[in-house]
Amino acid sequence: MFSSVKAYENQHYTSLKKQCQSSGTLFEDPLFPPVDESLFYQGNRIGRVHWKRPKELCADPHLFVHGISAHDLHQGQLGNCWFVAACSSLASRESLWQKVIPDWKEQEWDVEKSNSYAGIFHFRFWRFGDWVDVVIDDRLPTINNQLVYCHSNDSNEFWSALVEKAYAKLYGCYEALDGGNTADALVDFTGGVSEPVDLVECQFARDEASRNQLFDRVLKVHNRDGLISCSIRAASSADMEARLDCGLVKGHAYAVTDVRKVRLGHGLLAFFKAEKLCMIRMRNPWGEKEWNGPWSDSSEEWQKVSKSEREKMGVTVQDDGEFWMLFEDFCKHFTDLILCRLINTSYLSIHKTWEEEVMRGSWVRHDDPLRNLAGGCINHKATFLQNPQYVFDVRKPEDEVLICLQQKDRRARPKEGKGENLAIGFDIQRVELNRKYRMHSTQQKVAGSIYINSRCVFLKTELKEGRYVIIPTTFDPGLQGEFLLRVFTDVPAECKELTLNEPPQTCWTGMCGYPQLVTQVHVVSAEGLQGQGADGASDPYVVISCDGEKVRSAVHKDKRNPEFDIKGLFYRKKTREGIHIEIYNKNVICDSFLGQVILTSDPNDLQQQHTVHLRDRGNRQSNDLPGTVTVRIITSNVLTNI
């Protein structure tokens, strides 16, 4: 997974540490020095800060004390609860935090090998498609000998403060972490795909069936080592961090640390009861201020659960910021949920394995329409199709497809004044099965994302077998930026960018000819097909051939009147030759021929629809016709019109 880890700013941890050890000096990071500029970009508002190494703050510093847990983290004098909540989720997943904190045993302070200490640490974050290794020194900002920002329960534990410093270095300074998106941090810690869920808009509090389905999704993400966060939306800036009567805090990111179905009852009888409660556990990054409603730490409801079950769940009666809620109450009080899925691409896993395609692209503004790649969303019809276009195939009768569009984060270094992220999104359109060149007229839209100025936009959708084009765009035209497109399917989708507008001219064009006509053939449906089964049904498929090229549909099982809905696009040199539409019945050994149609297209009639009789191959007249087929044909003598 880390074979392509990139050294941030070309700082290589191993070589820098060896240099310090050989010279007997402690590492001092020239890229993130102990000055106010590393703390603030709007000016110092907390007073004089002293940068100190852990050995100056305690006698026995450690990376971890008694392991790592969500309880290690407490938010300091910075509005980065989003980052701390993500860290709390990370701490509960050993397989994940060991990727963010590599070589943790080697990085730990070793009393027996004091000469190995060089005041240097490194951490890894997933940024725009790459794992980035960030090197820091261990000089931390303090006031009155206390850490200013993120700190642990144990005064001699420093992993959270050091991870925060490395993350602040990526953003340019600590203050750049003041206000952010938990989803971004979750993705940075995992390389996963973050899905936002609007609990209010989807009305999960009212709809029990939908709520149960959501709980199953949340439970699956949790059980497969995904990270989860939640929050209560604040209506205004004055409402931020307002504490509700129930103990929850508005505008505040909470880490979800456990999800489970809890048995009611005591002893063996509990195992025979059908009733289970859907429950979720959260943690406040402040390390205090908890939910005080049903199933809170000291509520009477816990008497309904056996002692062994409570111990298994880790129920404690203390104001440590962590608490349980019924999922129903959770949906009533919280407004936003973030599910960060770890998309499994390993064939060695027992879980579903996804095929991943990763595309890098750019929105580039240009005066020439054929070179412009910044056309804006579909509202801007004149320029929409000037955006980058990516084609992919769905090869199953129906497949779940996950699509994530990520832009290069403009908020990542606010001290440089790069401003807010662009509002981005994408459309998915179904196209011809043999589409090779860019679209120049819109086709059937089958799905699309919302448009939002977040770093990532995610969509999960079901698509039927066929070929599709993703069009990633900014909301407004003329805006420039880089993006990363990730497509996950059950079987390889062979995603690639469409770069050519029409067939290229080559040195053979003069002898072999160049297309004079472009024709789209859309076989809509067929009726009255006669099969060989007892009920007369068949397993039909259609083949369209034109000017030496063929397009074949999927097989429609046990049908007499199939809805083919198949398109083919043909760049025709021999404009007078007919278009052949043949229908076959799929058999194990040899497919049987059901009938054919031979059509011509008139370039002067751009919208033709035919309902025509199928014939045998000889096209002879017959009183017993094998059925009819409905076909649409669109032709154009301007290649880039289709």
| Both structure tokens of 5 | 């880890």
Tell me whether residue 81 is one of the annotated catalytic residues.
yes
Q: Cα separation of 402 and 511, whole Å? A: 45
Q: Quickly list H helices, 349-459.
A: none
CA gap 42, 588 in Å, rounded: 73
Catalytic residue among 20, 74, 81, 181: 81
Per DSSP, the three-state class of 106 is: helix
**What values do phi and psi take at 30, rounded to 5?**
-70, -20
Measured distance CA(637)–CA(601) in Å, rounded: 12
For residues 36 and 545, give the distance between their C-alpha atoms in angstroms, rounded to a whole number: 70
- Residue 284 appears among annotated catalytic residues: yes
For residue 615, which of 602, 599, 601 has the smallest C-alpha distance?
599
Tokens linked to 534? 């007892």
Which pair of tokens denotes residue 292? 């005080």
Q: Which residue is catalytic, options 80, 181, 284, 585? A: 284
For residue 185, give every residue at least 6 positions away whose Cβ sits within 8 Å of its Cβ, in sequence order, or none: 82, 83, 85, 86, 87, 167
| DSSP code of residue 117 | -
- Apex CA 298: angle with CA 294 and CA 304, to 5°? 65
CB of 341 closer than 8 Å to CB of 193: yes
Q: Which residue has the tokens 């320029």?
A: 383
Catalytic residue among 222, 252, 522, 556: 252
Q: The tokens 């795909």 sit on which residue?
A: 193
Active site amino acids: 81, 252, 284
